[in-house]
Each structure stands twice: as C-alpha cells, then as structure tokens.
Amino acid sequence: MPFIEIEFQTDDPRMRELCQLYWEVDGYGKFVHRVADFAEKFGLKAREVAKEVRQHCRAFRADLLCESCGAHVKYLDNRSDVSLGWRSRDWYRYCDTCEDAIQSQEEERRRQQDEILNQQKLEKMQEAFEGGVYESLSLLEFNFLVALATSPNTDVARKKNSAYPRKTLNQSSKS
Ligand SMILES: [Zn+2]
C-alpha cells in the first residue's frame, strides 16, 4: 500500500508535528488523524490546516517515481490529491520537468510533421502546374489556391469557409 513521505521546509518542531499528523497514514493508506481533532492544538481552524501544512513541508507519494528520471512525482497539495492519485496512475507518470520536456518534444515533432506536409503540398502544386492543370485558371483563382494549399493552418482556412455561409444565412433571414 502506498505511503506518504514528507520533506520538511521548517525547523520548527511544532510545525513539523502538524505536518506529520496531517499526512500520517496507516497500513491501508487511510489517514490516521482527523484534521478537526488536532487543528485546535495548533491554534488553527480545520480549514486553515492544509494551507499551513503546505507552507511547512512538501509531501509526496513514496511509491510514485517519475518514469523518465526517477524523481518524486507531483507534490501533494492536500489530502484529496492522494486519493486522486491512487485512482489514476497516469496522472502521476512523470515529474513536472519531464512532463514539460515531453510536451515540447511532442510540439516540435508536430511542427516538423506540418512542415513536411506543407512541403509535399507545395511540390504537388508545382507538379500540377508544370503538368498544365492550372493553365485555364485566372491569376486570382490560382493565387487563391496557392494561398489555401500553403496556409500553415488549413484548419483555420476550413473554419473560415464553413462560417461564411452561416453568416450570409443569418443576414438574409433578418431582411
Ligand atoms: Zn522526471
């Protein structure tokens, strides 16, 4: 059963005790002490305890290590974070640093893919042009096609196109 480890951020023995009482779990992963039972001892209201604990220690699940670098994963903000993590392992796969790195790698990969796709489109247009397919188009039509095909985000172009007829419909229903 997972248990919780604490890194103290204070030398104050009273605050250390508060953190320990807050985060102590039994062999089944259940919290040993009810917050209301010890809050008063520290001159706190029950709802103030979690914030105070957060300021004086960092808590994490001892069994969850980053799959990439082995660091502790996701510090726990409050008790409900713990049960959340026990339910979904995926949420805790990587530490924040590795998560960021993986995300920017993914973005870079997508950007490169887009670039390749755009390049392919350009080449196809070039081929078609050289094959004489577009010779019958006007210059305006041809420029429009080039702009559409080489747009960095053809989804945007598509959305604009689909929004246009809706607008004209609204206008005509008003008049
Ligand atoms: Zn990591």
| Whether residues 117 and 69 fall in one domain | no
| Whether residues 22 and 61 fall in one domain | yes
| Whether residues 38 and 71 fall in one domain | yes
**Minimal CA–CA distance to 150: which of 119, 128, 174?**
119
- Cα–Cα distance, 22 to 45 (Å, whole number): 13
Quote the domain boundaries for residue 112: 106-174
| Whether residues 85 and 154 fall in one domain | no
| Whether residues 77 and 131 fall in one domain | no
Q: Which residue has the tokens 């990439």?
A: 68
**In-domain check, residue 100:** no
| Whether residues 47 and 18 fall in one domain | yes
pLDDT band at 171, cuts 50/70/90?
very low
**In-domain check, residue 101:** no
**In-domain check, residue 84:** yes
| Whether residues 125 and 87 fall in one domain | no
- Cα–Cα distance, 88 to 75 (Å, whole number): 15
Please give the distance, rounded to the nearest whole angstrom, from the Cα atom of residue 169 to the centre of ligand 1: 53
Please give the distance, rounded to the nearest whole angstrom, from the Cα atom of residue 84 to the centre of ligand 1: 20
The most confident of the ranges 57-66, 132-141, 150-159 is 57-66
Please give the distance, rounded to the nearest whole angstrom, from the Cα atom of residue 62 to the centre of ligand 1: 14
Question: How many structural domains does the chain have?
Answer: 2
pLDDT band at 134, cuts 50/70/90?
low
Single-letter residue type at 3: F
| Whether residues 83 and 10 fall in one domain | yes
pTM: 0.54
Please give the distance, rounded to the nearest whole angstrom, from the Cα atom of residue 23 to the centre of ligand 1: 24
Residues 6+ positions from 44 with CB-CB distance below 8 Å? 18, 52
| Whether residues 111 and 88 fall in one domain | no
**In-domain check, residue 38:** yes
pLDDT value of position 174? 44
**In-domain check, residue 127:** yes
Please give the distance, rounded to the nearest whole angstrom, from the Cα atom of residue 93 to the centre of ligand 1: 9
